[in-house]
Amino acid sequence: MIAHIVLFAPKPTLSREDRRQLGAAFSEAVARIPSIRRAQIGRRRTHGRPYEQLMLVNYTHAAILEFEDVEGLRAYLEHPAHEALASQFFACFGQALFYDFELRDGALGVETLLAETD
């Protein structure tokens, strides 16, 4: 499974209407792009752990989209609904990180950690 992970912080001056349009673009992309297997978006929650203070940037939101394989991710990235989402997103965020990971469950994931070198 490929996870497309986006950590972001909307611009502090982002209007309610701009947030609504960003949400609509996200919903439209999820509905129209068949290669998306799962899509989640949410707000950061803190709960008093020391590691929370170690973060250099407070990314207030995360979006995680899952795909069967890299081809599915590419189909998403090249889809017109993603282009509309990306356009809206880049106009709305103050800071963001984008990462793609190949993930495996449990022991298989641990094996990749132990077997691979950077």
Q: How far apart are CA 63 and CA 113, in angstroms?
A: 24
Q: What integer pLDDT is reported at residue 43 of this predicted model?
A: 95
The pairs formed by 29-33 with CB atoms below 8 angstroms and a separation of 24 or more are 29/76, 29/79, 29/81, 29/82, 29/84, 29/85, 32/79, 32/81, 33/75, 33/76, 33/79, 33/81, 33/82
Q: What integer pLDDT is reported at residue 116 of this predicted model?
A: 62
> Which amino acid is present at 102?
E
Residue 112 predicted with pLDDT over 90: no
Q: How far apart are CA 60 and CA 95, in angstroms?
A: 10
Q: What is the pLDDT of residues 40-61, one digit of tens each?
A: 999 999 999 999 889 889 999 9
Residue 28 predicted with pLDDT over 70: yes
Q: Which residues contact 89 (CB under 8 A, 6 or more apart)?
A: 8, 22, 25, 96
Per cent of the chain over pLDDT 70 is 97
Single out the residue of 78, 82, 49 nearest to residue 63, CA to CA. Answer: 82
Q: What is the pLDDT of residues 72-97, one digit of tens each?
A: 999 999 999 999 999 999 999 989 99
Architecture of domain 2-115: 2-Layer Sandwich (3.30)
Q: Which two tokens stand for residue 45?
A: 């929650």
Residue 62 predicted with pLDDT over 70: yes
R_g of the chain computed on alpha carbons: 16
